Chains A and B, each alone.
Chain A
Amino acid sequence: MRHFYDGDIEKSPRIQRLIDHLYAKMPEIEADRAVLLTESYRSTEGEPIITRRAKAFQKICEELPIIIRPEELIVGSNSQAPRGCQVFPEYSYEWLEAEFDTVEKRSADPFYISEETKQRLRSVYPYWKGKTTSELATSYMTKETLTAMEHNIFTPGNYFYNGIGHFTVKYEEVLAIGFEGIAAKAKTALSVCKAGDADYARKSHFLNAVIICCNAAITYAHRYAMLALETAQKETNSQRKMELLKIAENCAQVPGKPARNFYEACQSFWFVQMLLQTESSGHSISPGRFDQYMYPYYEKDIKEGLITREKAQELLDCIWVKLNDLNKVRDAASAEGFAGYSLFQNLIVGGQTEEGEDATNDLSFMCLEAALHVMLPAPSLSIRVWNKTPDELLIKAAKVTRTGIGLPAYYNDEVIIPAMMSRGVTLEDARTYNIIGCVEPQKAGKTDGWHDAAFFNMCRPLEMVFFNGMEGGVQVGPRTGDVTQMKTFNEFYDAYKTQMNYFIELMVNADNAIDVAHAERCPLPFQSSMIDDCIGRGKSLQEGGAVYNFTGPQGFGIANVSDSLYAIKQLVFEEKKVTLAEWKEALADNYGRGFSKQQVESMTTQIVKNLADAGQPVGEREIAAVYQTVANQNISPEKKAKYDQLLEWIDQVPKYGNDIEEADKFARDVAYTYTKPLNQYRNPRGGIFQAGLYPVSANVPLGAQTGATPDGRLANTPIADGIGPASGRDTHGPTAAVNSVAKIDHGIASNGTLLNQKFHPSALSGVEGLQKFCAFIRAFFDQKGMHMQFNVVSRETLLDAQAHPDKYRNLVVRVAGYSALFTTLSKSLQDDIINRTMQGF
């Protein structure tokens, strides 16, 4: 039996000081990259785009200001300010210019921006007019696609405004042969190109671009070597002086040449990670299987006595802190969907080797220990679980979960490997998968996954069925007929499927338009140098250079749609308690529960528009009158009572999330209305579409754009989280909720599924608590669930639940074997539980 070191490792006092420095101030936007990029572009007009990209990267590596932060052991920052960020006008810029004066004050992810930075950005922005990927992509989309996007059926916002990201490079290759070695590979490939080859022009320019980028990365590191040396000369503290000299030595060696020891491997890894995040603004650039590719260096140093476990842990902790130094500014709307300054740099431990053996090693444990030491959101830490995962690794992971930081996320090899193979990934490649971003499986170093390609709101096509594809006087979806005339449930369900199929095709159109725009305007030669088989094929990742090419847009709202359809089936067609006409009216009236300000405004605009179209006079007075009428929503008491009755009936229909066979079977089928149609589509890189089922946190902002739904969900309220039950609808505890979720086909959602679970800390107390928690995860995975992550309920959550019981109707607390729905308890008992939570049991 293999033995691992699973104990605690002391945290170096340096780590907390690094963290404090990083979080001392609000993050700041910087202009240097945008200015350097623009200068480079201006001087390369007319050259091939791949060459222009490489030269711009080179200029940035040569001139971007560099900095070594106090006490750092691993260096390399692409901003002067801690957690600062650069901007990327080649993708889009108008939104930032429009938000210059609000970005500092907004609630989600604010950034400081100085007047000088605004000025510098304003000076380069005019150059980009008409040159961005965003503008080109828009011009490639059909009219219908643009209409559907305006009406928030789906949003490809991520890639529309930013770089693609969502990949893992071959870090191990840079560690092993350095960028000198990669440049040599490109040179060899170049040497066999013949001027007469059909693809010579493209291939030769691409390979030369790779060589330029490799050299640029080396130049960047050498600048750090010089800076470390200069700083060392001025340093009076002798210990720090030694550290700086060591840093200088590291940066002179890596990432240009092979890493000779664990410390150099750490530094080399870091340069790759931060330079990738400087080349493009894509997020979810994921370190992947860090415990695997770093282990040989660690093992060798430990064996030879060159490093202690504690010192290695300190270096890991330093990397963990640095991963939080990288940042990205998003537009205000996207910031709400991705709140938390997250770059989704997913790092995963455990899993299998190519030959199907367990891959756990001591570094797997040390990565979990690093999470305990730094307690920060990055990296997005994950663990692969399969039948042979050592229990002690799972227990260590559970200890991290118990802290309440929401990490790690747990992934099931037994579902993911066959799911990937069903998409054409080889057995060996599938066994060595890692996770990208939130939940998306990928074979590192061989894939352009385009995960997270769009959010598709499955509730919106349902609204379209009720209103015959019309919204705000615009024909957004197909005419599926007058809903009030539908005679059978199947007629209704077919109409929903027709709406789904229509919008899925438009989403594909949007994604493919953006895909082409990135290939034409923003191919990325640095990133492509580290992903197979770009060098072999002589083309960038964006042009289809990867071995595996996917597009993975994600649907969300299964629970709401499933509960809605099931309620309609029961109440309209079986029990005949209500007609579709009545239900349509109830939805339009938001079940008589009033409207949000935003909704009142949009309805007023609509009515005024209709009046104007009909030739009625619409002055300020008329508009005010309409607004008042809508806002006061004069609903008669009889109607209100009718709506209350309808809501009560809806409540009584079985809901997804309670391990009720009939409701869950329905949800399984509803998920297929999204996952199956997607299978037929292809992307411009020669790959296929594959569905994901998760909203990240977009279920909240996108729910705000969604009207009332037949499951009783009110207008503008959040849509169900992940693949989980609708909020407050699961009332039978965690096993029932999870059993329901496992009844959905996760295998077909090969772009990932997401299940959030909330636990009270008492469920994880003591050794037995941890063991039972691990058994819970394994039992979900036995049923072929794909992913799960946990929020351990904090005292703050309970206080919030006390204040806002409606948001927490399903919150179960268990104390000493006694279990109760928290919100049904009296205040004094709730206080008892809050106090117990504080004591940590």
Chain B
Amino acid sequence: MEKEYLQVKGRIFDIQKYSIHDGPGIRTIVFLKGCPLRCKWCCNPESQEREIQTMFTAGKPKIIGRDVPVGEVMDEVMQDRFYYRRSGGGLTLSGGESLMQADFASALLQAAHAMGINTAMESTGFAPFRVIEEKILPHLDIYLMDIKHIDREKHKFFTGVSNELILENARKIAASGQNLVIRVPVIPGFNATESEILEIARFAASLPGVEQLHLLPYHRLGMDKYAGLGRDYSLSSVQPPSNEHMKKLMDTASVTGLRVRIGG
């Protein structure tokens, strides 16, 4: 009999193979559509709306978003099983925010485990903890959690939501014994000062079991997509941080005792 979780349907907008910066080994990222946050720097703006959209790329319209059952997604993910086996890689869920489709995300992770591959999820944890605890954690090997800022107001201004739930969930996820890695998108003008990064690093270091902090330098590679969606890109004047500055931030964050690195 066909396993039930293979039938669960959800909405994705991309599958990216040979991903090497999003968890251990060689991975395939499945991007789920829909996100409760509206980060101004988001490099995947087509991920934010839950609805299926049309985006123009290189002058041509492209439908963003499709509804697929887990079984179909896994067929595609498992095409690269040879690479997972050799590298200890597997499936990474990204988005959007996968927690917005928690049943679908749960079924994907469950299927991946049943097929013997490693699971990771890039998420900012913006959902009731019960959902994370019941649906996600039992099937997840690595939680790659975004913490963007400790300051509540600034967080709200740049992402559209307050950070209280996020920080609280981070504590609870850590307390559950989950393998948790904290990632920080480093955005000049938002959180790229030494004191702001240090504050995030201190918070991360206070979480039981957390050993790693990834600083992800801001890039503008998603900028064209805003135009493709008919939207303005408010950060167009922001320059990516220099290598030297990233290095300085890494050194600063390292005083917390965490293993800090630049990039995923």
Q: A735-B80, A775-B86, A782-B82 are in contact. Are A829 and B220 (CB under 8 A)?
A: yes
Q: How far is the CB of B166 from chain A (nearest CB, A)?
A: 21
- Name the B residues within 8 Å of A768 (CB-CB): 20
A816-B263, A816-B264, A832-B240 known; A735 and B221 CB under 8 Å? no
- Smallest CB gap from A783: residue in B: B82
Q: Does A763 contact B (CB under 8 A)?
A: yes
Q: Is the CB of B219 within 8 A of A815?
A: yes
Taking CB atoms, residues of chain A closer than 8 Å to B217 are: 816
Docked Cα-Cα span, A839 to B220, in Å, equals 17
A390 within 8 A of partner (CB): no
**Are A733 and B18 in contact, with the CB atoms below 8 A?**
yes
Residues of A contacting B87 with CB < 8 Å?
771-772, 775-776, 779
Residues of A within 8 A of B16 (CB): 733, 819
Q: Mark B75-115, 1 if CB is under 8 A from A, else 0.
A: 00001101101110100000000000000000000000000
Contact between A782 and B224, CB atoms less than 8 A apart: no
Kindly identify which residue among B79, B82, B89, B219 contacts A818, using a CB–CB cutoff of 8 Å: B219
**Interface assignment of B252: CB less than 8 Å from any CB of chain A:** no
Smallest Cβ distance from A391 to chain B, in angstroms?
11
Asked if A721 CB lies within 8 Å of chain B CBs, one says no
On whether the beta carbons of A739 and B20 are closer than 8 Å, the reply is: no
Kindly list chain A residues whose C-beta atoms are within 8 Å of the C-beta of B85: 779, 782
- Residues of the B chain whose Cβ atoms lie less than 8 Å from the Cβ of A772: 20, 25-26, 87, 89
- Within 790-841 of A, Cβ neighbours of B (below 8 Å) are at 814-820, 824-826, 828-829, 832-833, 839
State which residues 221-266 of A face B: CB under 8 Å.
Answer: none
Interface flag for B22 (CB, 8 Å): yes
Partner of B79, one of A734, A739, A782, A825: A739
Report whether A832 and B220 are in contact in the complex, using a CB–CB cutoff of 8 Å. Answer: yes
Cα(A825)–Cα(B86), bound, Å? 32
| A778 interface residue (CB < 8 Å to B) | yes
Docked-complex contact A659 and B82, CB < 8 angstroms: no
Tell whether, in the assembled complex, residue B80 and residue A739 are in contact, meaning their CB atoms are under 8 Å apart: yes
Query: From residue 215 to 238 of chain B, which have CB atoms closer than 8 A to chain A?
Result: 216-217, 219-224
Q: Determine if A735 and B20 form an interchain contact, defined as CB atoms under 8 angstroms apart.
A: no
B57 within 8 Å of A (CB atoms): yes
**Of B25, B43, B58, B221, the contact of A775 (CB 8 Å cutoff):** B25
- Interface flag for B21 (CB, 8 Å): yes
B21 touches A782 (CB 8 A): no
> With an 8 A cutoff between CB atoms, is A588 at the interface?
no
CA distance A771 to B83 in the complex (A): 12
As a 0/1 sequence over residues 10 to 21 of chain B, the CB contacts with chain A under 8 angstroms (1 = contact) are: 000000111111
Taking a contact as CB atoms under 8 Å apart, the answer to whether B17 and A818 are in contact is: no
Cross-chain contact B224 with A825 (CB below 8 angstroms)? yes
Give the complex CA separation of A783 and B25 in angstroms: 18
Q: Is A18 an interface residue (CB 8 A)?
A: no
The CA-CA distance from A776 to B26 in the complex, in Å, is 8
How far is B240's CA from A834's CA once the two chains are assembled, in angstroms? 14
Least CB distance from A370 to B in Å reads: 28
Interface size on B, residues (CB 8 A): 32
B17 and A733 contacting across the interface, CB-CB below 8 Å: yes
Query: How close is B30's CB to chain A, nearest CB, in angstroms?
Result: 14
CA A739 to CA B223, docked complex, whole Å: 32
Complex contact A817–B82 (CB within 8 A): no
C-alpha gap A824/B222 in the complex (Å): 12
Q: How far is the CA of A814 from the CA of B216 in the complex (A)?
A: 14
Q: When the two chains form their complex, are residues A829 and B21 in contact, meaning their CB atoms are under 8 A apart?
A: no
Q: Which residue of B lies closest to A817 (CB)?
A: B21
B79 near A736: Cβ-Cβ < 8 Å: yes
Count of chain A residues with a beta carbon within 8 Å of a chain B beta carbon: 34
B26 & A775 in contact (Cβ 8 Å cutoff): yes
Residue contact B19 to A817, C-beta cutoff 8 Å: yes
Minimum CB–CB distance for A455 against chain B, Å: 32
- Bound complex: CA of A839 vs CA of B246, how far in Å? 14
Q: How many A-B residue pairs have CB under 8 A?
A: 91
Contact B79 A832 (CB under 8 A): no
The distance in angstroms between the C-alpha atoms of A763 and B19, with both chains bound, is: 9
Known contacts A733-B16, A825-B224, A829-B224; decide if A816 and B83 are in contact (CB<8 Å): no
Q: Bound complex: CA of A733 vs CA of B17, how far in Å?
A: 7
Contact between B264 and A779 (Cβ–Cβ < 8 Å)?
no
Q: 0/1 per residue, B29-43, Cβ < 8 Å to A?
A: 000000000000001
Please judge, given known A-B contacts A775-B26, A817-B21, whether A659 and B221 are in contact too, CB under 8 Å. no
In the complex, what residues of B have CB within 8 A of residue A783's CB?
82
Which residues on A sit within 8 Å (CB–CB) of B26? 735, 772, 775-776, 779
How distant is B52 from chain A, measured CB to nearest CB, in Å? 21
A763 to B79 alpha-carbon distance, docked (Å): 20
Cβ-based interface call for A684 (8 A): no
Q: Does A732 lie at the interface of the complex (its beta carbon under 8 Å from any beta carbon of B)?
A: yes
CB of A769 within 8 Å of the partner chain: yes
A55 to B80, CA, bound (A): 60
Known: A818-B43, A820-B221, A825-B221. A779 touches B83 (CB 8 A): yes
Which of A350-377 touch B at CB < 8 Å? none
Across the interface, B264 reaches (CB within 8 A) one of A775, A817, A824, A826, namely: A817
- Given known pairs A816-B21, A817-B19, A824-B58, the reply for A839 and B221 (CB within 8 Å) is no
Find the residue from B20, B22, B243 having the highest chain A CB count within 10 A.
Answer: B20
Given A817-B263, A832-B240, A776 contacting B58 (CB threshold 8 A): no
Chain B residues near A826 (CB, 8 Å)? 223-224
Residue of A nearest to B264 (CB): A817
Least distance between B214 CB and chain A CB atoms (Å): 10
Q: How far is the CA of A828 from the CA of B219 in the complex (A)?
A: 12
The listed residue with most A CB atoms (<10 A of its CB), out of B18, B19, B87, B89, is B18
Contact (Cβ within 8 A) A763 B221: no
> B18 to chain A: which residues have CB within 8 Å?
733-735, 776
- A550 CB to closest chain B CB, in angstroms? 31
> How far is B28's CA from A819's CA once the two chains are assembled, in angstroms?
12
The residue in chain A whose Cβ has the minimal distance to the Cβ of B239 is A832
- Chain A residues near B21: list those with CB within 8 A: 814, 816-817
Please give, as numbers and ranges, the residues of chain B lying within 8 Å of A828 by CB-CB distance: 220
Q: Which of A733, A739, A769, A829 contacts B221 (CB 8 A)?
A: A829
Q: How far is the CA of A829 from the CA of B240 in the complex (A)?
A: 11
CB distance from B151 to the nearest CB of A (A): 25
Across-interface contacts of B20 in A (CB, < 8 A): 763, 768-769, 772, 814, 817
- B-side contacts of A763, CB under 8 Å: 20
Closest 7 CB pairs of A and B: A775-B87, A817-B21, A779-B82, A775-B86, A779-B83, A779-B86, A824-B58
Pairs across A and B, CB under 8 Å, 16 listed: A734-B18, A735-B17, A735-B26, A736-B17, A772-B26, A775-B87, A775-B89, A776-B86, A780-B82, A814-B21, A818-B219, A818-B222, A826-B223, A829-B220, A829-B224, A839-B243
**Measuring CB to CB, which residues of chain A are less than 8 angstroms from any residue of chain B?**
659, 732-736, 739, 763, 768-769, 771-772, 775-776, 778-780, 782-783, 814-820, 824-826, 828-829, 832-833, 839
The residues of B with any CB-CB pair to A shorter than 8 Å are 16-22, 25-26, 43, 57-58, 79-80, 82-83, 85-87, 89, 216-217, 219-224, 240, 243, 263-264
